[in-house]
Structure formats: C-alpha cells, structure tokens
Chains A and B, each alone.
Chain A
Amino acid sequence: MSTPTTSFGREAAAKLARSKNEPAWLVEWREEAGQLASTLPLPKPEKTPIHRWTLDVYGANRPGQAVASTAQLPEAIASLLPAEAKGALIVQHNSAVVYTQLSDELKAKGVVLTSLEEAARTHEDLLRQHLMTAYKRDEHKLAALHAALWNGGVFLYVPRGVEIEEPIQALLFADDAEATFVPHILVIADANSRVSFVENVTSAIGDTETTLLHNGAVEVFAKAGAHVRYAAVHHMEKAAIDVSYRRAVLDNDARIEWIVGDLHEGNTLTDTKSILKGNGSNSDAKIIAVGTGSQRVSLTTQAVHFGRASESDMITRAVMTEEATAIINGITKIEHGATKANGQQTEKVLMLSPKARGDANPILLIDEDDVKAGHAASVGQVNAEQVHYLMSRGIPKTEAERLIIYGFLDPVVSEIPLEGIREQLQRILERKLG
C-alpha cells in the first residue's frame, strides 16, 4: 500500500506513471502536467475562496480489487448498482477501475467501453487526439493536477451511426479517504451516433479528518449529428471535496443534454461547459443542487457559441439549507460569426434558513448582432404567501414548505428523461431535505 503524496510536481508525476507501467507517451504527458501543477495558480471561481479548501491532497495509489462479476464487488458498491444493471457498466473503486461490463452485441458494433488507463494502451491515437483538449492541462492548477494524477477513468467510444438504447452506467466509488480518486471520463460519440451515459460519484469514508479530493473531469466529443445525453449524480460525504469540470465539444448538428445532480455533502466546485463549435449544434443543461450544513458550493454552467444557428439552454436550481452557501454562475458567450445563435439561461436559488446564502450571476457575452440571448435569475426564500395559501387548505406548515421546495426543483427533476436517475435524485433529495 502506497502512502499519500504530500508534495507534487514533475518528478512525482513521472514516478507515479512509471510505477503503473503506463506507456511512454503518457509518462511524458504526465510529467509535463506535473510541472504545470507546480507552477499554475488555482482557478478563481466567483466569490468562492477555494484557496481555503484543502486542495493540496494528492493521495496514494490505492487501486480497488478487480472482480470478474458484479457479485464479487464489495457490498458497499453492489448496493449502489442500478437494479437493472443489464446494460453496460463500469465501476471504479478508489484509484482503479475494477469491473467493466459490455454486451457482445455492442462490442460487435464496435463500441468500446474500458478504463481510460486501459485505453491509453489500446486506443492511443484516439486518446491523444481528444484527452484534455476540451479541458486543457494548463487551464489552472487543478486541471494540471488532474492531468498528472487521473486514474481509473472511463473511455467510451461509440462508432458512427450506432445507437445505444440502454444508458451506459459508470459508478465511481471511494471508501478510502487517503486514495487518489481522480477519474477522467472521455466519451467520443462518432457521427450520427446516440448514447446516454450515467455517472454516479459516491463515497463511504465515514467521519474522517482526512480530506478525500475527487478531482474529476468529463470530456464529451459529439461528432456531426451525434446525440449524447450525459447524466451525473454526485453524492459523497462531508469529508470529501468535489471538483468536477465537465466539457462537451459539439460538431455540426450535434447535441448534448447535461443532467446534473450536484448533491454532494461537502464543498463543491463544478463547471459544466458546452462548446458549440458546429453549425446547428445544440446544448441543454439542467442542474440541481442542494446544500446542507456549512457547505460551500460553486456551480458554473457555460455555453460558448461558435456555430451558426447553434442553441443552448441552461437551467440551474439550487436549494440551500442551514449555513450552506451557493454561488451560481451562468455564462453564455456568443462568438463573432455565430449568427442566428440562441443562448438562454436561468439560475434560481432558494434559501431555507436565515444563515443560508445564495448568489446568482448570469453573464451574457455577445460578439455577434444577429442572435438571441436571454437570462433570468432569482435568489429568495420560501414565499410566505405561498405557504399561507397551502396552509389555508389544511396542509400543515412543514408539509407546505416541503411541497414548495420540491416544487422549486420539479421543473428540472420532472424533465429528466431517464427514470432511474429521476428516482435516484428523488431519493437523495429526500435524504438531504428531509
């Protein structure tokens, strides 16, 4: 068992990569990232002082035990598997992928589902063309660290024209707070393909003084006419920090649908961005978040339009309880030349206690005349008139408030097209909101 690294740079990155027998190109690539990590500053999310968070944890390489069937998975993981795990499935346990399941039928169609570590050996070209090109190693310290340290991970390739019915499920699980837990998910949907991907990030580390840092990233490349639906539900414990950068790059007429439940119990920094490169490309992002305790949450959604007649819609709804604070940023950027583009966004925060805080910052950056763009934002508490109205029909106060809070999230939750995810979100919401 390796011990957690306390400082990190070029040498440590190379040493780790070599110890895992990674291909030479990757060792070098990681070395560069390690170098960047030791020089680049942290990102500066709006009004969220992340420099006070415990982000200088690099963890130790603690791969979970690989298994041949789901029955052999540790109980803590098995209990999280979707009941109908008949579709494709990949499981990461701490620092490594321990299980992968893909039907022969999909394999025959050329679909690839493996750990990203494995793909570095088997699909070098595809990896090198895509890996961290949408989320670049030199964006900031966290990106560089991610590049240097990513482990396990998911590589999904869907060939041209292939349509996958059942969602592909990824379960990313940590039960060792000292582990390096840095999954990278790379989805390449080739032209005119269709795929739904569901990612679950969860932990079982209990009350610990050690900080588990999930420094994760997602990159989705939707080629011409491809449709990707990407759902992520994050629900780790208080001792964990969730850093998640999500990026989608859309070619002509490609579409991404983000469905995100940022329901983590600890500090959270997420940034979900669609780059609408292609003409007629389309991005739809729906994000809900619930903050409890003294959690700090920074949620950013972004859409960058390059393509003509490209369209984006972003909706974020956050409920903050107790002393939780949420900073919600929405950035719609329309580049010069993206004529007929349409970018819309809405951010709403509902605060349930006098000590809860929320802030919504909608930003429109438009360098083209012939476009449509709109935004709406609101931050407020449960409306007393509404509570009175429900109570005047005999509904007790706590139930009235519950209806209003769930109602606040419903326009996002009820639109989620995957029933399993919708039910799972509802279960977590009930746990978090009572």
Chain B
Amino acid sequence: MSSLFEIRGLKSEIEGKEILKGFNLTMQGGEVHAIMGPNGTGKSTLASSIMGHPKYEVTEGEVFLNGEDVLEMEVDERARAGLFLAMQYPSEITGVTNADFLRSAINARRGEGNEISLIKFVRQMEAKMKELEMNPEFMHRYLNEGFSGGEKKRNEILQMLLLEPKLVILDEIDSGLDIDALKIVAAGVNAMRAEDRGFLIITHYQRLLNYIKPDYVHVMMQGRIVKSGGPELAERLEAEGYDWVKEELGIVDETVGQEA
C-alpha cells in the first residue's frame, strides 16, 4: 500500500536560485509531522512548491498524495485531490465575500449539478465559525480584507474545516497568534485529526506543538531535512536552539544562502 504523502528528492528554485535541494519525506495516514528550522532554510519554499505557487519552479523530484503525482496537476486540481496549504500570508480579495469564496471552493469539489444548497452551506459555515470563535460578520466580509493577522489565520483554519482535505500543510500558522487564538486554532486542527488525514506543520517555535502533538519532528537546514526525531526533538530545540544540531552535523551556514 502506498503512503498517504511522499516527497522524493524535491528541488525547487525561485528566480533561478535553488532553495530546496533534494527534500525527502514520507507520511502515513493519521500522522502529524512538524518541520522546524531557523529562518531562510527553505521551509516556506517547501510549502509553496508543493502547492504550486507560480513564483517557484520545481526542477526535480516528485510529490505523491495517495499515490498520485500532484506536481503533474494544476493548482486547483491539487486542492481537489486533497491538498491544503494554510498560508502564512493569505491574499486579500476585494469584492469576494468569504461566503461566496468558500461556497465556490466547496462546489468546485462537488461538481456541476451537485452544488451544495445555500441553506446547508450557511449552516455549516456558521457552525465552523462558532468552533473557531469567529464573529459571524466575517462570513460576509470581503475575503481577508482588513482582517488582522490572527483573523486571517483563523480564516485559513475555517477553510480547512470546511474543505476537509487529506493532507494539510500549516505554514507558520502560529505566527501572529496570541495564546488564546493559538489554542482555538490547535483545537480546530485536533478535531480534524483522522486515520486517513495527515498534517505537516511548519513552525519556528515549539509553542504550537504543545497544543498539536506531533508524531515526528524534522529539522530543516540548507533546503533539506537534516535531522528527524520524535516530539522530544522539538523540546530540545526549544530549550537549546539550533546550534547543537549544526555542530553535530558540521554545518556552518544553515540557510540556503539568502541575504541576511
């Protein structure tokens, strides 16, 4: 049986500069993996490349979701295949309400002739917003426009709850969140944990991992995973920083050479 999610030898560049330098990872259903690492080591590039952001060019490697190569797919097909990226900087889109946007996203999955009824959709959306303690007015606000950083992050989680993806990537979902919001977001994620679903959590800090317990923790440096372990690895990183990892592996500059 194939794994839920597998990344093989992924290389990716932006504006001709290679950032990911052969990234490998295998995840089984039900697992939560955390990717930690200092700034500039390629964490967000990993997330953006998997999702197919137009600025990043994948030059080598494969990414399989339930045995299908997602890199062969258009961005929207990747999403419909079950991939979801909670973005670090979600776009603001004037004139498109949160509700219209989400209904379009749900209907894109259901296909023509099988659209969700408006009433059913509104009920679902209201229920999930309540779970996330979001003000109901955010339903009719323009997508992310004028949202605070924390509100945007909650809105990303709201989308995740409604779209029920198979593989969720959270790209620094904890940045800009206060502790209460962090708990709410974590509860949303935990409620989604299931045997056939995986989570890939990208974060700087161990803080989030107190609330979402990872099965595996990976350290990313120089555009690839350099060390893997269990939850205890995250705790040690939090306590001691990354220097010991660099020392152990003989790494002087952990970044992919971005300007400091």
Contacts and interface: CB of A to CB of B under 8 A. Distances in A.
A406 B51 contact: no
Interface string B51-87: 1111000000000000000000011101110001101
B54 A393 contact: no
Contacts of A394: 76, 79-80, 105, 108-109, 163
A407 B108 contact: no
Nearest to A398: B76
Contacts of A409: 95
A392 B56 CA distance: 14
Interface string A394-431: 11110110011011111100000000000000000000
Given A389-B90, A404-B93, A407-B96, A395 B105 contact: yes
Interface in B3-24: none
Contact of B79 (A383, A393, A411): A393
Interface in B159-181: 159, 163
Q: How large is the interface on A (under 10, 10 to 19, 20 to 34, 35 or more residues)?
A: 20 to 34
A386 interface: yes
Contacts of B138: none
A390 B51 CA distance: 12
B101 A403 contact: yes
B94 interface: yes
A160 interface: no
Contacts of A104: none
Nearest to A414: B95
Contacts of B147: none
A386 B75 CA distance: 13
Contacts of A410: 94-96
B54 A408 contact: no
Contact of A408 (B74, B91, B94, B104): B94
A404 B96 contact: yes
Given A384-B54, A388-B54, A389-B91, A397 B108 contact: no
B142 interface: yes
A408 B75 CA distance: 23
B100 to A, nearest CB: 7
B96 A403 contact: yes
A178 to B, nearest CB: 41
A404 B101 CA distance: 10
A403 B98 CA distance: 11
A207 interface: no
A429 to B, nearest CB: 12
Interface string B223-240: 000000000000000000
A52 B93 CA distance: 39
A391 B101 contact: no
B161 to A, nearest CB: 13
Contacts of B51: 392
Contacts of A391: 74-76, 79
B101 A396 contact: no
A386 B76 contact: no
Contacts of B52: 388, 392
A160 B89 CA distance: 56
Contacts of B93: 386, 389-390, 403-404, 407
A284 to B, nearest CB: 19
B108 A395 contact: yes
Contacts of B53: 388
A407 B95 CA distance: 3
A410 B94 CA distance: 8
Contacts of B79: 391-395
B94 A385 contact: no
A391 B74 CA distance: 9
Contacts of B74: 391, 397
A399 B91 contact: no
Contacts of A392: 51-52, 75-76, 78-79, 84-85, 87
B142 A383 contact: no
Contacts of B80: 394
Contacts of B105: 390, 393-395
Interface string B28-67: 0000000000000000000000011110000000000000
A286 to B, nearest CB: 14
Nearest to B83: A392
A384 B91 CA distance: 10
Interface of B: 51-54, 74-76, 78-80, 84-85, 87, 90-91, 93-96, 100-102, 104-105, 108-109, 142, 159, 163
8 contacts: A389-B90, A390-B104, A391-B75, A392-B87, A393-B108, A397-B74, A404-B93, A411-B95
What 3 A-B pairs are tightest by C-beta distance, nearest first?
A407-B95, A410-B95, A394-B79
Interface of A: 383-386, 388-397, 399-400, 403-404, 406-411
Given A390-B105, A411-B95, 17 more contacts: A383-B91, A386-B93, A389-B90, A390-B101, A391-B75, A392-B75, A393-B108, A393-B159, A393-B163, A394-B108, A395-B104, A397-B74, A399-B104, A403-B104, A404-B93, A404-B95, A408-B94
